[in-house]
Amino acid sequence: MEKEIKITKKAARRGDDGYKVVSVRMKEEMIERLDDLSAKTNRSRNELINLLLNEALEIVKVEE
């Protein structure tokens, strides 16, 4: 008689969703500004940082 070991797939772990965790040092004033914007827009600080960085990367020009 053959025995089988059945293993079910596990849900994707945190971090396996295409996002990476980074640590950034910010001045307290900038965090306060982000928190104010977060409260006004009902978006998380993380979501705002991603939105703002994405827009900045679209318009940045490198000078030589």
Identify whether 45 is part of a domain: yes
| Residue 3 in this model has a pLDDT that exceeds 80 | yes
For 7, 10, 15, 31, 33, the CA distances from 4, given in Å and listed in that order, are 10, 18, 31, 54, 57
Q: What is the pLDDT of residues 21-37, one digit of tens each?
A: 899 999 999 999 999 99
Identify whether 37 is part of a domain: yes
pLDDT at 19: 84
pLDDT band at 12 (very low <50, low <70, confident <90, very high): low
Identify whether 20 is part of a domain: no
Q: In the predicted model, what is the mean pLDDT of residues 9-26?
A: 81
Q: In the predicted model, what is the mean pLDDT of residues 8-29?
A: 83
pLDDT band at 1 (very low <50, low <70, confident <90, very high): low
**How many domains is the chain built from?**
1
Domain that holds residue 40: 28-59
Identify whether 2 is part of a domain: no
d(CA 41, CA 1): 63
Nearest of 58, 60, 33 to residue 48 by alpha carbon = 33
Identify whether 5 is part of a domain: no
Identify whether 49 is part of a domain: yes
